[in-house]
Amino acid sequence: MILIKPSYQILTDIHPFQVIRNIEAAGRTCYKSEDKITNNSASDFVTKIIKSGHESVIEHESISVRFICDKGVSHELVRHRLASFSQESTRYCNYNGGVTFVIPPWVNIPEGEYENARNWISKVTLSIVDQNWIQTMAESELSYLFCLKKGWSPQQARSVLPNSLKTEIVVTANLREWRHILKLRTAKAAHPQMREIMLPLLEELACWLPEVFETVGGC
CA separation for the pair 176, 59 (Å, rounded): 5
Q: What 3-state DSSP class applies to 64?
A: strand
- What is the C-alpha to C-alpha distance for residues 35 and 38, in angstroms, rounded to an integer? 8
79, 86 in Cβ contact below 8 A? no
Q: Burial level of 64, CB count in 10 A (0-12/13-18/19+)?
A: middle
DSSP-derived 3-state class of residue 17 = helix
Catalytic residue selected from 21, 158, 179, 185: 185
Are 213 and 58 spatial neighbours (Cβ–Cβ below 8 Å)? no
Is residue 79 annotated as a catalytic residue, yes or no?
A: no
Residues tagged active-site: 185
